[in-house]
Amino acid sequence: MQLSKTNFIQYLHCPESLWLLKNKKEDYPKGEFSLFLEKLIKEGYEVEAYAQELFPNGIKLSSFITPQETLKALKDNGCYYFQPSFVTEKGAYAIIDILKRNNDDTWHIYEVKSSSSIKTDKKHNHLKDACFQKYVMTECGYNISQVSIIHLNKEYVKQGDIVPCELLEIVDVTHEVNNLYSATVNQINASLNFIKTDINLTRCSCIEKTRSNHCDAFRYFNPQIQEHSIYELNRISAKKLEDLRGLGVLGIKDIPNNFNLSDKQQLQVLSIIKEEPIIDRQAIKEELSKLKFPLHFIDYETYPTAVPKLDGMSPHQHVTFQVSIHTLSSDSKLNHYEFLSDTLELPTKLLEFIEETTGKTGTFISWYAPFETGRNKEMMQQFPEHKSYLEYINQHMFDLETIFHTNYVDYRFLGKTSIKNVLPILEPKFSYKNLEIQNGTMALDIWGRLVLQPETFQDVETAKNNLLEYCKLDTLAMVKIYKKLIQL
Ligand code: SF4
């Protein structure tokens, strides 16, 4: 059984999930973000291709070259090699992004990252990644004298062709890697032993942790935890989860009356016991009375790219490619407006479209407003001529999701307030289930392929219509929810 660098980082985050992946692949959940991961992987290849341009005389090894063939191929001093692979006797496996053979027979490892900084958090620890690569090569008998990380330069602004030496930064991390090395080697050895552990793991430690820590394998390891469990309680602490489990309580409705809970948590308990929503009608009325007509229910779809694709853009900036607006006037007339870019372009036309459609009128309403206001701030920098309009939108933006934080609590939302959890409960006739596009990740994937690889679609018009339908439902859903709220 082999252990890659990605496996090792997964082990550091959660040994049990790696064990499941290695030992019971058929039970390993596919994960809702697989499309997003695919996009990240493609972007990684793109950044790597630019990194290779930093070393014009580098030798590209065959993608499928084996560690034995690698050994024969790495014969020239002073040379850079791309993608050589190595495997240790215990099964630790590494593909080195760029490797230099120094004149003194030592080696310099370059790790390429599509982030715009060196990350050292639990899920992405680039220094431990680099330690892993060094470990594998050291175990295979190579003397590593230097380790560097190449990552995107967040200050880079594309103008014309991409300039690799400006797009990328090379950071020498030899010292940091050496400091972490022996402790990381112990962890690598522990992970190699753990994945070969001949026990049937049926529990995992997230039973003790809050929901934000859980991965898709939580249900596999903890089948006793069903819907409406204590993990759905808003901001429940690990200590309180432990206390409840100590009392033998796993379901929200079994929580004893005298157990200390926050106001929001108490509302959740009340909702499940009464099997009905708990609504603060007065507070909702007051909030909604502040909105000024016309009400513009607005939603953007965006396409973020690691390597900027358009002049004026920096790494990881979003291209806003689509907008849907439902405008509700004070006489209850509802109009729908939509715009979908059909080429990869700065959102000049999109912005002109919104400004012509709404002007500086009324209130803008979105769901999780920091997303829309964040894009508006980016566009203010790109298009100073629209700054005053975009500032108007941000200053007159109301986040409809906030109503569901405390003023409208329903146990059927399962402790979440995303529009996809709220809509089917308030308006069962409306659902995303029948749409071809189910979420924002699918939307950006489809649009990205439509503009960059249209040949992958048999029917481009249908794909465009699917995008329009998806974004339209996002804003129509807000209108439906708003109308329910004002009738309370
Ligand atoms: S739920 Fe938590 S402990 Fe369990 S496998 Fe997932 S990340 Fe690991």
Q: Measure the CA–CA gap between 290 and 294, rounded to whole angstroms.
A: 12
Half-sphere exposure of 197 (CA within 13 A, CB side): 14
Residue ID of nearest Cα to ligand 1 atom 6: 215
Q: Are 362 and 300 in contact (CB under 8 A)?
A: no
Q: What is the pLDDT of residue 215?
A: 86
How close is the Cα of 268 to the center of ligand 1, in Å?
25
Find out whether the peptide bond into 308 is cis, omega within 30 degrees of 0: no
Residues 81-117 have pLDDT tens digits of 999 999 999 999 999 999 999 989 899 999 999 999 9
Q: Are 310 and 345 in contact (CB under 8 A)?
A: yes
61 DSSP 8-state letter: P
Q: Are 364 and 296 in contact (CB under 8 A)?
A: yes
Neighbours of 187 (CB within 10 A): 18
Q: What is the pLDDT of residue 75?
A: 81
Nearest Cα neighbor of 229 from 215, 217, 219 is 219
Indicate the CATH number of 5-195 among 3.90.320, 3.30.420, 3.40.50, 1.10.3470.
3.90.320
Q: Are 126 and 119 in contact (CB under 8 A)?
A: yes
How close is the Cα of 279 to the center of ligand 1, in Å?
34
Q: At what angle do helices 5-13 and 15-23 cross, to 10 degrees?
A: 130
Which ligand 1 atom is the nearest neighbour of the CA of 214?
Answer: 1
Ligand 1 touching residue 11 (CB < 6 A)? no
pTM of the complete model = 0.85
How close is the Cα of 405 to the center of ligand 1, in Å?
27
How close is the Cα of 238 to the center of ligand 1, in Å?
15
Q: Measure the CA–CA gap between 412 and 432, rounded to whole angstroms.
A: 17
Neighbours of 300 (CB within 10 A): 23
How close is the Cα of 259 to the center of ligand 1, in Å?
27
Ligand 1 touching residue 231 (CB < 6 A)? no
Token pair for 436: 């071809």
Largest CA-CA distance found in the chain, in angstroms, rounded: 81
SS3 call for 115: coil
SS3 call for 340: strand
How close is the Cα of 355 to the center of ligand 1, in Å?
47
Q: What is the pLDDT of residue 131?
A: 97
Which ligand 1 atom is the nearest neighbour of the CA of 13?
Answer: 7
CATH hierarchy code of domain 279-488: 3.30.420.10
Q: Measure the CA–CA gap between 170 and 188, rounded to whole angstroms.
A: 26
pLDDT in tens, the chain (488 residues): 899 998 998 899 888 889 988 988 888 876 545 566 677 778 889 999 999 999 998 998 877 677 778 878 888 777 999 999 999 999 999 999 999 999 898 999 999 999 999 999 877 899 999 999 999 999 999 999 999 999 999 999 999 999 999 999 999 999 999 999 999 999 999 999 999 887 767 778 899 999 988 988 888 889 889 999 999 999 999 999 999 999 999 999 999 999 999 999 999 999 999 999 999 999 999 999 999 999 999 999 999 899 999 998 999 999 999 999 999 999 999 999 999 999 999 999 999 999 999 999 999 999 999 999 999 999 998 899 999 999 999 999 999 999 999 999 999 999 999 999 999 999 998 888 888 888 888 899 899 999 988 898 888 999 999 999 999 999 999 999 999 999 99
Helical residues (DSSP H) of 277-418, grouped into ranges? 281-289, 348-358, 369-382, 387-395, 403-406
Q: What is the pLDDT of residue 37?
A: 67
Q: What is the pLDDT of residue 41?
A: 79
Q: What is the pLDDT of residue 382?
A: 87
Ligand 1 touching residue 217 (CB < 6 A)? yes
Q: Measure the CA–CA gap between 219 and 1, rounded to whole angstroms.
A: 25
Residues 16-54 have pLDDT tens digits of 889 988 988 888 876 545 566 677 778 889 999 999 999
